[in-house]
């Protein structure tokens, strides 16, 4: 099954795309979701479920005491006074010699893990 969703060409400017396609970014998202929902209904579809995860507030912890002073200084200069809980858990795991794999939504702080 071809799951091509016919996304607009990323190399064209969004203004050109909106004029040519008559779409806004939200319309692109809505159209993509509609396509995925239609695929979900097809026999033998590789799509088994579509779920919406609503936004929720972040959960934070204080910076660990044993963060390297140079790192603490850089974080402080960037206005970062706390870590998301998954960032703090990753730090503790790695500091204890373990490995960490972080799977979390977009814009939720994976970079600092």
**Residue-range domain boundaries for the chain:** 1-52, 60-112
Segment 25-76, tens digit of pLDDT: 667 788 888 888 999 999 988 888 988 878 888 899 999 999 999 999 999 9
Segment 9-26, tens digit of pLDDT: 555 555 554 554 444 566
- Residues linked to residue 84 through DSSP beta bridges, in sequence order: 60
Do 93 and 85 meet the contact criterion of CB atoms below 8 Å apart? no
Whole-structure pTM value: 0.55
Burial 54-86 (b: 16+ CB within 10 A, else e): eeeeeeeeebeeeeeeeeeeebeeeeeeebbeb
């Amino acid at each position: 099954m071809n799951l091509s969703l016919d996304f607009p060409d990323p190399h064209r400017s969004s203004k050109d795309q909106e004029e040519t396609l008559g779409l806004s970014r939200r319309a692109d998202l809505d159209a993509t979701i509609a396509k995925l929902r239609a695929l979900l209904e097809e026999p033998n579809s590789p799509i088994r479920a579509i779920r919406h995860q609503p936004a929720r507030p972040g959960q934070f912890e204080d910076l660990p005491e044993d963060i390297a002073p140079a790192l603490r200084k850089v974080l402080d200069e960037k206005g970062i006074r706390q870590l998301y809980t998954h960032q703090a858990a990753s730090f503790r795991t790695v500091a204890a010699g373990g490995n960490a794999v972080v799977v979390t939504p977009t814009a939720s702080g994976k970079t600092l893990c």
